[in-house]
Amino acid sequence: MPELPEVETVRRGLEPVLSGARLSRVRANRPDLRFPLPDGFVQRLTGARILRLDRRAKYLLAPLDRGDTLVMHLGMTGRFEIAAPSSDRATRPGDFAREVKPDDKHAHVVFETEEGATVTYYDPRRFGFMDLIPTDRVDHHPWFATMGPEPLSDAFGARTLVAAFNGRKQGPKTLLLDQKTVAGLGNIYVCEALHRAHISPFKPSGLIAGKRLGPLTTAIKDVLAEAVEVGGSSLKDFAAADGALGYFQHRFRVYDREGQPCPTPGCKGTIAREVQAGRSTFFCPVCQV
DNA sequence: AGAGCTACCTGAAGGC
DNA sequence: TGCCTTCAGGTAGCTC
């Protein structure tokens, strides 16, 4: 499910209840998610204080006062729900409320804090994963060591793409999905960014003129920032930790819009869908060249 | 090294 | 109603 904007939305929802909180009780209702939970998962977490809640790409990072960092990835269908003693949820406008079906079957990990909040991790498809990594080793862990820059940071710029695309035959769709190029993009936002930049997902990346990579960089930053601002995209499983739905799906220009007119002003094209590298690519064959 | 494919696992949705 | 097929936002690991 979640790409960078959705994970950032989850982070912002969880931060008030987890940052600075001490874990009084942790339950793992099964020994594995996508991967086995690490040895002593429950014991190493119980009693620990969460110093902060950070995000790197699509990962949530919770450094603990005991030297480990709890690393969490939501996979495709991972979701957190907060049951807090305070009235945070009740203060949400009614039209944001999400009908949550009872889903004990997929409640895999439950965190309870000394402050009285319960945070439950649900993941029907179980593509998500959690691990405990010594905090001073996180940057060297295989998940992070080769990861590209954060797309919304100054570390990501046109020169990032110039270097990544140089001489490559694969289309930009494929290279932008590769977390080593830039970290945090997924299928939806790559499709959207390429459409905004009017670049074909299939054009050999090495043949894309360098002067077009500045606008592509801008398109990536813009689409992500706009999505973060409205709480991500709610498709099927995604809702913020407080149950609020994201709204960016209403702003999709190409994703899941096969057969609809291209929204580019003056373009008479029709949005098409093709499978590329095993994933659905949505694009306008007319204005994306 | 780079490119392309599959696997992981489950649920939802559509066709018949 | 029910069975079957197809598809899904991510990542890792295999082969050529």
In strand C, which positions have an atom below 7 A from any protein CB?
Answer: 7-12
Q: Are A124 and A106 in contact (CB under 8 A)?
A: yes
Any idea which nucleotide's C1' is nearest the CA of A275? C7
Distance from residue A98 (CA) to nucleotide C1 (C1'), in Å? 29
Residue with tokens 């004990």: A104
Distance from residue A276 (CA) to nucleotide B5 (C1'), in Å? 11
Q: What is the Cα–Cα distance from A61 to A162, expressed in whole angstroms?
A: 30
Architecture per CATH, domain A158-283, reads as Orthogonal Bundle (1.10)
Q: What is the Cα–Cα distance from A13 to A117, expressed in whole angstroms?
A: 13
Domain range annotation of chain A: 4-145, 158-283
- pLDDT confidence of residue A100: 41
Q: What is the DSSP string of A234-284?
A: --TT---TTSPPP-GGGG-SSTT-TTSBP-STT---B-EEEEETTEEEEE-
Q: Which of A3, A5, A22 is nearest to A13 (CA)?
A: A5
CATH 3.30.200.20 fits A4-145, yes or no: no
pLDDT tens by residue, A140-171: 998 999 999 999 999 999 999 999 999 999 99
Q: Is the pTM of this model over 0.95?
A: no
Taking phi first (over 0 means left), then psi (-120 to 50 degrees means alpha), and beta for anything else, what does residue A238 get? beta
Enumerate the active-site residues of A: 2-3, 58, 279
Any idea which nucleotide's C1' is nearest the CA of A143? C11
Instruction: Find the residue closest to C11 using CA and C1' atoms.
Output: A75
Instruction: Find the residue closest to B9 using CA and C1' atoms.
Output: A125
pLDDT tens by residue, A17-67: 999 999 999 999 999 999 999 999 999 999 999 999 999 999 999 999 999
**Could you give the dihedral angle defined by the CA atoms of residues A70, A76, A77 and A82, in that order, rounded to the nearest 10 degrees?**
40
